[in-house]
Copies of this chain bind each other. A is one copy, B any other.
């Protein structure tokens, strides 16, 4: 099946190029022609593999989320690390894809990428919630956490973590950052029902 494999290779080529462009230039701002030019194919070829530009987006988001989930699973299963550390690290291991070229991190104009962002949030939440649910259950069993609505709490923490720090929605300056992180950690402690100050050490883990 050399031809079939050839087809899959082409598909991946398109996916890779599109992903790069979507993340750096934004989904709406990326033209199908932009993709075509870099992959060096004709329009017909693109639409031979995908039914629409949006279908490509969905496939990419699925990839990104899956990669994040795999990292989380890896982190979560390492029982030599304290549970609370594992959970924090699993959350923080999500979506490091959305960094632009690392040099220009300051002063860079965040692309408006609403569609990508929204779909990512939705997909990520659906994928990650079950993973963290078992971890939190483990914490509850070990009397580390005390909470009545584990699933809803996880959803909230995941949502907050993403919206506050990864997503481009909040545009606060460097001076406000530490307070935002401390606030997030404090609220996370309260929602999970850990002892107060249990998460304080994670402040430094944020870049």
A176-199 interface mask toward B, CB cutoff 8 Å, 1 = contact, 0 = none?
Answer: 000110111011001101000000
Q: Is A156 an interface residue (CB 8 A)?
A: yes
Comparing A13-21, A92-100, A114-122, the segment that makes contact with chain B is A114-122
Q: Which residue of B lies closest to A182 (CB)?
A: B149
Whole-angstrom CA separation of A179 from B122 in the bound complex: 19
Q: Is A81 an interface residue (CB 8 A)?
A: no
The reply to whether B117 and A118 form a contact with Cβ atoms under 8 Å apart is yes
Q: Is A10 an interface residue (CB 8 A)?
A: no
Q: Is A163 an interface residue (CB 8 A)?
A: yes
**Which of the residues B152, B179, B187 comes within 8 Å of A156, measured between beta carbons?**
B187
Secondary structure call for the A interface: helix
Q: Is A34 an interface residue (CB 8 A)?
A: no
A152-B169 contact given A160-B159, A190-B190, CB 8 Å threshold: no
A60 CB, min distance to chain B CBs, angstroms: 15
Q: Which residue of B lies closest to A180 (CB)?
A: B152
A200 CB, min distance to chain B CBs, angstroms: 11
Q: Is A112 an interface residue (CB 8 A)?
A: yes
- CB-CB under 8 A from A151, the residues of chain B are 179, 183
- CB-CB under 8 A from A30, the residues of chain B are none
Task: Pick the 3 closest A-B CB pairs, nearest first.
Answer: A152-B183, A149-B183, A114-B114
- Sample 12 A-B pairs with CB under 8 A, ordered by A number: A112-B118, A114-B118, A122-B171, A151-B183, A152-B182, A155-B164, A155-B183, A156-B183, A159-B159, A159-B160, A159-B164, A187-B190
Can you name 16 extra interface pairs (CB under 8 A) apart from A118-B169, A152-B186, A155-B183?
Answer: A114-B114, A115-B115, A117-B118, A121-B169, A125-B169, A148-B183, A148-B186, A151-B179, A152-B183, A153-B183, A153-B187, A155-B170, A156-B164, A156-B187, A159-B163, A187-B191
